[in-house]
Amino acid sequence: MAVTINGTTRLMGVIGDPIAQARTPGAINPIFAAKGADIACVPLHVPSAELSTVWAGLRAMPNLVGFGITLPHKQQALDLCNSLDPVAARVGAVNLVRREADGSLRGYQFDGAGFVRGLRTAGIAIEGRSCLMVGAGGAAVAIAFALAEAGAARDRARAGQRLSPLDGVPISWKDLFDTAGIATEAGSALLKDRVPDRDARVLANATAMGLVCLGKTHMSELAFSGLGYNPSTATPPCVNDETAVSGGSSSGAAASVAFGLAAAAIGSDTGGSVRVPAAWNDLVGLKTTSGRVSLEGTVPLAAKFDTVGPLCRSVEDASLLLALTEGSKPIHQRGDAAKRMPLHRRSLRPVARRDRGEPGCDVRRNP
């Protein structure tokens, strides 16, 4: 299907030097056309010496969706982004940049996750394999991180030393949970560039149990809406109608799971902010008892009523996630039974919905 370009077409670029080798435009334009998206992807040849100049121009283009980054810019681009996804910050390289509604540019890193997912899709097992990495560019570092992360959880499983039943399961986090060294803005321009120096208690609990943080998700501004609409940042879509809002205020959390981008998500609920988006996106959402899960390191709406809760695909998953985020083991995991319990995978697995979804788990959609 041919791509039609007119005055309303939004642009996605691919930046590199050289750029003739880039195959992304040829691969992604037919996908845009098939989905009816008025977006065109074009190659942009930008020498390293001119990257910062071009970057400023891209920030000023309202019809720019974002752009991919290829060699040799992935590490240089890191310092030019206004904000970073946690994976990009940890790896130290960027391969995708999204232009936000306010013109700011947020960097992401999917090289590693994409490589590992591609291996598994092709039926290539990672377990028990050695890996020789040739080169230390941004993509190589990202792949090394992803392989190590996947392998660490598998190694613990083989040795009977799982940190929890969900060790190695990737989940997303609503952007009101503090992440050390990564912006936590609660969907508000008032908190723009707010960077905490330590993780929220609930995130630290989950990490200690082996859960993998994929990234942070959009939300209603300061959690003050049940619709999920956010004109300051962006509004995630509903899985049942992509032209509709996803419900809020844990809007991106619900969308990340419903579109198959994350196995589960952690949100917050004061007056329905987990339950509403869960219901609108065919998920299970758990509103926990006030005070059961720590609010230390979370941006408050109404501290006496705020609660932390999961969005997932089954009641069993919700039970496991509740136990792990509050800092305890599920009741059936205590004692010797924990060593015999298999990793729960069946529903805690990203499910690709046909003709739905967008890359990345920080689900963003311009209003």
Catalytic residues: 174, 249, 273
Looking up tokens 């799982």, which residue turns up? 162
Q: Do the beta carbons of residue 175 and residue 219 sit within 8 Å?
A: yes
Question: Contact at 8 Å (CB) between 13 and 61?
Answer: no
Of 237, 230, 207, 219, whose CA–CA distance to 301 is shortest?
Answer: 219
Strand partners, 312: 284
DSSP for 41-83, written as a single string: EEEEE--GGGHHHHHHHHHT-TTEEEEEE-TT-TTGGGGG-SE
CA angle 181, 295, 226 (to 5 degrees): 95
Q: Sign of dihedral through CA atoms 242, 182, 150, 114?
A: positive
- Identity (one letter) of the amino acid at 254? A
Q: Which of 148, 129, 15, 157 is nearest to 81 (CA)?
A: 15
Can you point out the beta strands (E) in the chain? 10-16, 39-45, 64-69, 83-84, 96-99, 105-108, 170-174, 212-217, 237-238, 241-245, 264-269, 284-285, 307-312
Query: Token pair for residue 112?
Result: 């590693």
Give the span between the Cα atoms of 120 and 117, in whole angstroms.
Answer: 5
Residue with tokens 């195959």: 23
